[in-house]
Amino acid sequence: MKRMTMMTACLIAGLSVNLSSVSSAHAARGKAQPAWAKALPKAYDKTFSAAQKKQHLMDRAHASKYAELPAPSTTSKLKKLGVFSRKAIPFFLRKTFTVKSDVMPAGDGTEAKMVHTDGALAEVALKLGNKTYKHAIARFSLAGPPKDSFIPGLGIKVLRDNEQQSFNLLVMDTPLGQGPDHNFFARPFRNWFKPPKFSDSPKLAAVNAIFRMAKKNTNFLAIPKDLLKEAGLPEKTDLTFEPTAFARGLISSDSRQPFQADLAKSIGSALAQAEGSVVLSTIRDASGNKVGQLEVLSKPVASAFGDQKFFVTHPFDNE
């Protein structure tokens, strides 16, 4: 299958972008940040174990859990901030691919996800090849407003001990989405897919062109080569996360509840009955061979930390 272009990849997997707005930055300077929004402790990247890192990030998510879910984001952050400049776009997007961090890169005080703005975090275990990563966090999100098309994306952060940087994976089905079908697990998630054509969606084709300005030397969501090496898999393995029959039955295609509420209710109920973990997907390579599985360990939580601060680096170069 033809590999997708840059933006498609970005749009697909929970794109986290550091955008700047001078006016809002000045307004933010006088306000005290809540604990969940502050910089990570200095020991985080030095002495924290993977388990401690996961607990620290999830504690911030629970501390900022929404009392009521915010309305789905409907306005492009790019349009809001007026950064449709050929000069500015690469600057604002480059950090998405180059910064190694578990929280949004520091800016002038204003950070924002450009797409995949609404989501929910959950603890997961990733079994891949001959390795099992028990200390990982998944962010379930939508690429855009569900009224346009329901476009699920999945970002997975595998936390590692001490100074070791996290592994980041980003997968989805297609940037065109699944239309009115609101079942989050209706289709497979993968790190490769066809790019949107202008005839498919002029809007997505235009956004695709913008993202290509940020980084042109690669055109797909690579799986980190060090992760594949640890798992005993070939360096350039492409992965498909195929939802289990159980996962596909968790949410109705006709649901019109906020997807975060559907995820929390369905997975929370399943975990209560299972008294442990629930397998959400079987992981297969490009040849269809089973190479792992993804298990969810906690009820997804929608939070300000998850939507504003949690950061999944986009590893486009098999970094």
CA 154 to chain centre: 5
In a domain, 213, yes or no: yes
Average pLDDT on 9-31 reads 40
Tokens 């950061």 appear where? 311
Q: What is the pLDDT of residue 150?
A: 93
165 — pLDDT class (breaks 50, 70, 90): very high
Lowest mean pLDDT among 94-103, 118-127, 310-319: 310-319
Whether 18 has a pLDDT exceeding 50, the answer reads: no
Q: Residue 67 half-sphere exposure, CB side, CA atoms within 13 Å?
A: 0
In a domain, 1, yes or no: no
Q: What is the pLDDT of residue 8?
A: 44
Q: What is the pLDDT of residue 102?
A: 95
In a domain, 254, yes or no: yes
Distance CA 283, CA 290 (A): 6
In a domain, 31, yes or no: no
Q: What is the pLDDT of residue 48?
A: 98
Q: What is the pLDDT of residues 78-100, one digit of tens each?
A: 444 444 443 444 555 667 767 78
Q: What is the pLDDT of residue 104?
A: 86
Structural domain range at position 135: 6-26+38-308
Contact 23, 82 (CB under 8 A): no
Both tokens of 117, joined, read 């703005």
Lowest mean pLDDT among 20-34, 93-107, 287-301, 305-319: 20-34
Average pLDDT on 131-160 reads 93
Q: Across all residues in the chain, what is the average pLDDT? A: 81
Better pLDDT: 235 or 137: 137
Average pLDDT on 265-281 reads 94
In a domain, 319, yes or no: no
Q: Which helix (H) or strand (E) holds 312?
A: none
Q: What is the pLDDT of residue 206?
A: 65
271 — pLDDT class (breaks 50, 70, 90): very high
37 — pLDDT class (breaks 50, 70, 90): very high
Q: What is the pLDDT of residue 316?
A: 58
Contacts for 155-158: CB closer than 8 Å, 24+ residues apart: 155/13, 155/14, 155/116, 155/312, 156/124, 156/126, 156/294, 156/312, 157/102, 157/310, 157/312, 158/126, 158/133, 158/227
Q: What is the pLDDT of residue 73?
A: 67
Q: What is the pLDDT of residue 86?
A: 39
Whether 106 has a pLDDT exceeding 80, the answer reads: no
**Overall number of domains in the chain:** 1
Average pLDDT on 261-267 reads 97
CA 159 to chain centre: 14
Whether 61 has a pLDDT exceeding 90, the answer reads: yes
Contact 179, 196 (CB under 8 A): no
In a domain, 33, yes or no: no
* Maximum average pLDDT range among 9-18, 106-115, 306-315: 306-315
Whether 232 has a pLDDT exceeding 50, the answer reads: yes
In a domain, 314, yes or no: no
In a domain, 44, yes or no: yes
134 — pLDDT class (breaks 50, 70, 90): very high
Outline where the chain has alpha helix (H): 6-12, 22-29, 50-63, 77-81, 88-98, 202-212, 225-230, 245-248, 259-274, 304-308
